Copies of this chain bind each other. A is one copy, B any other.
Amino acid sequence: MKDYSVIIVDDHPVVREGYRRLIDLQPGLKIAGEAEDARAAYAQFRALRPDVVVMDVTLPGASGIEAIRHIRQYDDSARIVVFTMHLSAAFALKAVQAGAMGYITKSSDPRLLVEAIFGALRGQTVISPDVIEAIARDRISGIGTGLTDLSPRQTEILCLLARGWSAERIAGELSISPKTVRNNHYQIKSILGLETDAQLVWFALETGLLPAI
């Protein structure tokens, strides 16, 4: 019986090493390839046609969510399992909407990832318990993370604003007008119902958009 082939997508080399010990040593699975960003993941998928893709959602350049969509567009039977540090209901829902067959946090027991891979092979979607709980909690409170209400661009700008960057610096970084940054700044605060810029930082910290020190 042939092993199922897996490709792994993560931008941190050390994490890919960790995958190897988890997956490659697992009977029935073998790692066919690696990629460190969304474009390479897509190229690898087309070249190797693996049975399963295991990928992070935060990647350099295009987001993992987009990569999922892209791969599923090319082959809608692709099995993709998201494996990420983000314990986020918003990310998980987006990933599943985009076509992921699993969402496991890196702080989970590693065996859960293996289970999710075999689950995906059987056509089951496995979500790690901590994420399920986060989804349930968000639903109950009704508030949600708020992050889902922001467009990708707004999220990006929020992230830079919360870092303490000036509108001018952000404008330079993104090659847009400072006025656009200011408009987005206002829109973001308006959508999230925030009063001050300091609250904006706290929002970014609480949603995990930025790491707390």
A63 in the interface, Cβ–Cβ < 8 Å?
Answer: yes
By beta carbon, the residue of chain B nearest A194 is B164
Complex contact B164–A213 (CB within 8 A): no
Complex contact A162–B198 (CB within 8 A): yes
A65 in the interface, Cβ–Cβ < 8 Å?
Answer: yes
A18 in the interface, Cβ–Cβ < 8 Å?
Answer: yes
Q: Mark A10-29, 1 if CB is under 8 A from B, else 0.
A: 01111111111110000000
Residues of B within 8 A of A163 (CB): 198
A200 in the interface, Cβ–Cβ < 8 Å?
Answer: yes
Q: Mark A144-177, 1 if CB is under 8 A from B, else 0.
A: 0000000000000000011111100000000000
- The quantity of this chain's copies bound in the complex is 2
Complex contact A213–B107 (CB within 8 A): no
Residues of B within 8 A of A16 (CB): 18
A211 in the interface, Cβ–Cβ < 8 Å?
Answer: yes
A residues 183-213 near B (Cβ < 8 Å) are 194-202, 205-206, 211-213
A78 in the interface, Cβ–Cβ < 8 Å?
Answer: no
Give Cα A206–Cα B201 distance, bound, in whole angstroms: 14
Give the number of chain A interface residues (Cβ < 8 Å).
49
Complex contact B212–A205 (CB within 8 A): yes
A109 in the interface, Cβ–Cβ < 8 Å?
Answer: yes
Complex contact A107–B212 (CB within 8 A): no
Q: Which of A12, A83, A113, A195 has the most CB of B within 10 A?
A: A12
Give Cα A201–Cα B205 distance, bound, in whole angstroms: 11
A-B contact sample (13 more), CB < 8 A, given A13-B109, A13-B110: A12-B15, A13-B108, A14-B106, A14-B110, A15-B15, A15-B106, A17-B18, A90-B213, A94-B213, A163-B198, A165-B198, A166-B196, A201-B201
- The 19 sampled A-B contact pairs (Cβ below 8 Å) are A12-B15, A12-B18, A14-B15, A14-B18, A17-B110, A18-B18, A18-B19, A21-B21, A57-B213, A58-B211, A60-B107, A85-B85, A164-B195, A164-B196, A165-B196, A166-B195, A166-B196, A201-B201, A205-B212
